[in-house]
Copies of this chain bind each other. A is one copy, B any other.
């Protein structure tokens, strides 16, 4: 289980590094091929390629030059090979001033000894202090 937790935490690190490099393909890599993704605006994306494409778009425009810090808030194993995480994301825009905060639910599963993100749902935090 310690090994599993380590592998799961590595997913967060990879996502963070990919975001900060503005690399959508790297960002999408830890997702399962058929992953589900619900965007902060409620849009539904299906699959790693759609996740790559959507992030390429935001990395080239709205979030260009931004940096994002991801913090694991909770990690809970629903099964030995299925876990739910809550991850806080604190993004600072290119101007170094504007920022946005989000909270995500990430469902990760272990398939053939490797962990990947099966389902992801993200929400902008609009309530003070949350």
Residues of chain A having any CB pair with chain B under 8 Å? 36, 38-44, 73-74, 76, 78-79, 81-82, 84, 86, 101-105, 107, 109, 118-119, 121-127, 130
Task: List the 3 shortest-distance A-B pairs measured between CB atoms, nearest first.
Answer: A42-B125, A105-B121, A121-B121
Asked whether B86 lies within 8 Å of A36 as measured between CB atoms, the reply is yes
Whole-angstrom distance between the Cβ of A53 and the nearest chain B Cβ: 15
Copies of this subunit: 2
Whole-angstrom distance between the Cβ of A116 and the nearest chain B Cβ: 11
Residue among A102, A109, A123 with the highest chain B CB neighbour number at 10 A: A123
CA distance A73 to B36 in the complex (A): 12
Show 8 residue pairs from A and B whose CB-CB distance is below 8 angstroms, ordered by the A residue. A43-B125, A44-B130, A78-B118, A79-B79, A84-B107, A84-B119, A105-B105, A122-B123
